[in-house]
Amino acid sequence: MSVTPLTAKQLTRKIIEKEALFILDVRNEDAYSDWKIEGEKVTSINIPYFDLLDGVEEVIKKLPADVPVVVVCAKEGSSIMIADMLAEEGQDVSYLQGGMKAWSEHLEPIKVGNLNDGGEIYQFVRIGKGCLSYMVVSQDEAALIDATRMTDVYIDFAAALGVKIKHVLDTHLHADHISGGLKIAQATGGTYWLPPKDAENVPFSYEPLEEGKNLSIGNTTISIQPLYSPGHTIGSTSFIVDQSFLLSGDILFVDSIGRPDLAGLAEDWVGDLRETLYSRYKALSSELIVLPAHFMIMDELNNDGSVSASLGDLFEHNHGLNIDNEEEFRKKVTAHLPPQPNAYQEIRELNMGKIQKDSEEQREMEIGPNRCAIR
């Protein structure tokens, strides 16, 4: 029978389109329990590679006859070997090219809206990591927000659209993934913007994101004022695009709210978090479409694979926005903090330019799920 390679993009499309899939994950148990491929119609089991070296006859009994089977490992090699063994026993099977490392790095661009001047806004869904980044396009210019380290994807996408990246912005100092913002700005000649309270003593130059500054892209204005929005970090800054879209960074998600502890200051920053969510955001139009910097669970994806919701809907349904008592809010937030992101202190230092890591070290630092949210 046949063995078919499956790219991360192909697998992403199958999950977005809600195709039934059966994942045989042959990584170690701890890696699988920490982070695995999920989807509405995805079923998976974990049988470590070393447990299959003597034969796959027993595992074949656990595989469905009517659902495509995909073998997954960390880097690809083990999954190819197991897929070949399954094929020799008469099983049609696919394997994920590049393994979970490729899954972690894939970015799926999805158009999420039109702008009033004819421009567009795109969301880049990093489905294996839960990261979301954005490109705002107007006329022949673009702004890029919360870019990941896979810089070529954004540069190539802009080139395909025939636009020049004029501005590159990070909503805050990221701790769960490595920013590509500075590298992209240097490569394209764009201006790199950072919240100054998150960028003290960085060794590179940047423009400060401060209240009262407006950034123009073509005929579109990204309004910074009055959305200084601390809580996840002390400098977190949100953007309103075209009076229609609220880019909330890691302050507010579709199904959760941001965590305030990644600098070890949960007790101090939880008050800022509440002030941002319950005062600053509450004063905004309920019709704004919230576009966050992360998602945590696959249920947050819309039918087209994008992640968004109106601010009004979130104030109605997001539990983190419906805790009236301030003391109760503080207790719930600080008592339900998830595990820290992998290598988050080093990622913070890397994003501030204080340390350097090669590409393989950066890949290893990012392995694992999104952990920026509190549910």
Question: Strands 257-258, 3-6: parallel, antiparallel or unpaired by DSSP?
Answer: unpaired
247-269 per-residue burial string, b: 16 or more CB within 10 A, e: under 16: bbbbbbbbbbbbbbbbbeebeeb
> What are the start-end ranges of the H helices in 228-300?
266-275
C-alpha pair distances (Å), 47 with each of 68, 72, 122: 17, 10, 38
C-alpha pair distances (Å), 305 with each of 1, 17, 132, 337: 32, 8, 11, 27
> At residue 280, what is the residue type?
R
Q: Are 87 and 2 in contact (CB under 8 A)?
A: yes
Q: Comparing C-alpha atoms, which of 162, 164, 126, 127 is closest to residue 147?
A: 126
Q: Is 5 exposed, middle or buried (0-12, 13-18, 19+ CB in 10 A)?
A: middle
Question: 372 catalytic, yes or no?
Answer: no
Q: Of residues 37, 52, 70, 73, which has the active-site annotation? A: 73
Token pair in block for residue 92? 């049609």
109-129 per-residue burial string, b: 16 or more CB within 10 A, e: under 16: bbebbebeeebbbbbbbbbbb
- What is the set of active-site residues? 73
